[in-house]
């Protein structure tokens, strides 16, 4: 006995068409008309779109920062993801100084396993580079299905690695079928600018943005692209925010270099004026890279339209305003960096992208699911609606209208960066591997049975 979703419009990265979709067990078993089998549960989805379940390739759930942890755990973060129409997350497991990659990975596996409501994979963040770590990268690709690694060009003395390590990591990635995800900001320059600001008494949240100008991102993005080219390795630029960095990515793509880039709803919809709010409110928007001047936004939207940006992720890294952001009340450099977004990614991109006339439905699917599945070795199991793919389907009601608010969110954090934003459309039903997991803003899944996803090695030419 299966489930027949009938009367809806199937949307993939390539097609839009009317068809019924039949789910049986954990997979999609038929697409078309007159495909019902005796005993099927028939679900009327007339008027709705059927999108592949969203894939958010950039989350930080349960991330320890000093003595704190992010407000959202795997449990609360993944519930919020499902409610918003995202069925797979790829979180950043982190190797801290002195740890092996295997140890870092097992730390994150024990946080997620049995606690995650979505399916999940990990990128492995490397913060301590040496020859042994290079060998461990290969083991992780071959034995653990970890085909992407993150390195930070920022967060000096904490997460940042130097250019020598970056080059060596790119060389190793090219050898072992991995892609590097890079946080592109020049950490040394930021360190100097932060010290200068604080020593001059410039301690309010707006100086976070002032000490991380767009040029430090542009410089680091260009350097990352050149290092990747020297090593003949693929590169995925995380959370790209500004025109200068995008121009560098465009130039690399035009030259045929395997460079991919992600942006996030906050960079498309919020701008640096949010740092000038009364009192300490600006701390809610202390993220890295910071929000930019408004003139970057049309350039980023254009990047989504013309395929120069490949994914829209969230960089969900939530901290409560009370008790966590407040640690930087007298010094912006002590404000934990990050904000929430996993729950609102699809609705924001649908509202301001699709109904705003900036991207079409197929681009919406490519940006929210298909491209991430392809770059990160999950396609075609995830990221599309096809016979044999996992039955991860987000049934989207385009007629819903609402207002985003912390009062109604599932994310376990005490504010919403998008408070008051209009939301058009929402996930009506969310199926994860054939089971109804969320319905109209409510979690249905009774247990956190998200599966760990072993991912395939990176292959060039996939996008």
CA proximity to 149, closest of 235, 66, 73, 212: 235
Residue ranges in 4-23 that form contacts with ligand URP under rule CB under 6 A = none
Residue number closest to ligand URP, CB atom: 337
Identify what 20 binds: Zn ion, ligand URP, none; CB under 5 to 8 Å per kind.
none
Residue ranges in 75-114 that form contacts with ligand URP under rule CB under 6 A = none
Instruction: Give me the sign of the Cα torsion angle 173, 177, 178, 179.
Output: positive
390 binding ligand URP? (CB under 6 A): no
Shortest reach from residue 340's CB to ligand URP, in Å:
11
Q: Which of 94, 288, 324, 394 binds ligand URP (CB under 6 A)?
A: 288
CA proximity to 121, closest of 110, 112, 132: 112
315 binding Zn ion? (CB under 5 A): yes
Identify what 337 binds: Zn ion, ligand URP, none; CB under 5 to 8 Å per kind.
ligand URP
183, 322 contact by CB (below 8 A): no
CA distance 137 to 149: 8
Shortest reach from residue 63's CB to ligand URP, in Å:
7
Shortest reach from residue 235's CB to Zn ion, in Å:
14
122, 94 contact by CB (below 8 A): no
208 binding ligand URP? (CB under 6 A): no
Identify what 453 binds: Zn ion, ligand URP, none; CB under 5 to 8 Å per kind.
none
Segment interacting with Zn ion (CB under 5 A) among 95-103, 265-273, 301-309, 311-319:
311-319
Instruction: Looking at 287-401, list the stretches that DSSP marks H as alpha helix, in order from N- to C-terminal side.
Output: 296-305, 345-348, 361-365, 371-375
Residue ranges in 308-347 that form contacts with ligand URP under rule CB under 6 A = 315, 317, 337-338
Q: Kindly determine how many residues on this chain lie close enough to bind Zn ion according to the rule CB under 5 A.
A: 2
Nearer to Zn ion, 20 or 56 (CB): 56
Shortest reach from residue 241's CB to ligand URP, in Å:
10
Residue ranges in 167-226 that form contacts with Zn ion under rule CB under 5 A = 183
Shortest reach from residue 130's CB to Zn ion, in Å:
22
CA distance 405 to 459: 40
183 binding ligand URP? (CB under 6 A): yes
Residue linked to tokens 């016979």: 387
DSSP state, residue 342: T
Q: Kindly determine how many residues on this chain lie close enough to bind ligand URP according to the rule CB under 6 A.
A: 8
CA distance 339 to 91: 15
Task: Judge residue 199's burial from the number of C-beta atoms within 10 Å of its C-beta, 0-12 exposed, 13-18 middle, 19 or more buried.
Answer: exposed
The first and second tokens of residue 277, run together, are 């709010």
Nearer to Zn ion, 183 or 424 (CB): 183
Q: Which residues contact 421 (CB under 8 A, 6 or more apart)?
A: 269, 344, 348, 351, 403, 404
Which residues here bind Zn ion, judged by CB under 5 A?
183, 315
Which residues here bind ligand URP, judged by CB under 6 A?
60, 183, 287-288, 315, 317, 337-338
């Amino acid at each position: 006995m299966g489930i027949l979703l009938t009367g809806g419009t199937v949307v993939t990265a390539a097609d839009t068409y009317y068809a019924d979709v039949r789910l049986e067990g954990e997979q999609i078993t038929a697409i078309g008309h007159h495909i019902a089998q005796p005993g099927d549960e028939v679900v009327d989805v007339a008027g709705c779109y059927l999108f592949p379940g969203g894939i958010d390739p950039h989350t930080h759930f349960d991330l320890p920062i000093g003595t704190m942890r992010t407000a959202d755990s795997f449990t609360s973060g993944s519930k919020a993801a499902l409610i918003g129409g995202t069925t797979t997350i790829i979180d950043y497991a982190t190797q801290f100084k002195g740890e092996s990659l295997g140890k870092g990975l097992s730390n994150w596996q024990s946080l997620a396993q049995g606690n995650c409501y979505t399916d999940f994979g990990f990128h492995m963040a490397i913060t301590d580079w040496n020859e042994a770590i290079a060998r461990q990268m290969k083991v992780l690709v071959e034995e653990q299905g970890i085909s992407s690694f993150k390195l930070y060009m920022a967060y000096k003395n904490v997460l940042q690695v130097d250019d020598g390590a970056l080059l060596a990591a790119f060389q190793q990635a090219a050898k072992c079928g991995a892609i590097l995800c890079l946080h592109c900001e020049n950490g040394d320059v930021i360190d100097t600018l932060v010290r200068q600001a604080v020593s001059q008494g410039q301690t309010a949240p707006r100086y976070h943005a002032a000490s991380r100008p767009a040029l430090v991102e542009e410089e680091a993005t260009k350097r990352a692209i050149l290092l990747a080219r020297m090593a003949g390795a693929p590169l995925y630029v995380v959370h790209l925010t500004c025109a200068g960095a995008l121009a560098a990515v465009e130039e690399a793509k035009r030259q045929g270099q395997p460079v991919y880039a992600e942006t996030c709803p906050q960079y498309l919809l919020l701008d640096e004026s949010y740092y000038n709010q009364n009192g300490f409110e600006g701390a809610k928007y202390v993220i890295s890279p910071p929000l930019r001047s408004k003139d970057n936004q049309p350039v980023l939207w254009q990047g989504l339209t013309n395929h120069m940006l490949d994914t829209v992720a969230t960089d969900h890294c939530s901290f409560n305003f009370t008790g966590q952001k407040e640690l930087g009340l007298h010094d912006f450099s002590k404000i934990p960096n990050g904000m929430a977004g996993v729950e609102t990614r699809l609705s924001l991109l649908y509202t301001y992208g699709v109904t705003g006339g900036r991207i079409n439905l197929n681009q919406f699917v490519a940006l929210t699911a298909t491209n991430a599945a392809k770059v990160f070795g999950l396609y075609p199991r995830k990221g599309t609606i096809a016979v044999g793919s996992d039955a991860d389907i987000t049934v989207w009601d385009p007629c819903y209208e609402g207002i985003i608010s912390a009062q109604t969110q599932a994310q376990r954090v005490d504010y919403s960066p998008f408070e008051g934003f209009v939301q058009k459309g929402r996930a009506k039903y969310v199926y994860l591997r054939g089971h109804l997991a969320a319905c109209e803003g409510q979690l249905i899944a009774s247990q956190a049975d998200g599966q760990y996803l072993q991912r395939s090695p990176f292959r060039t030419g996939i996008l």
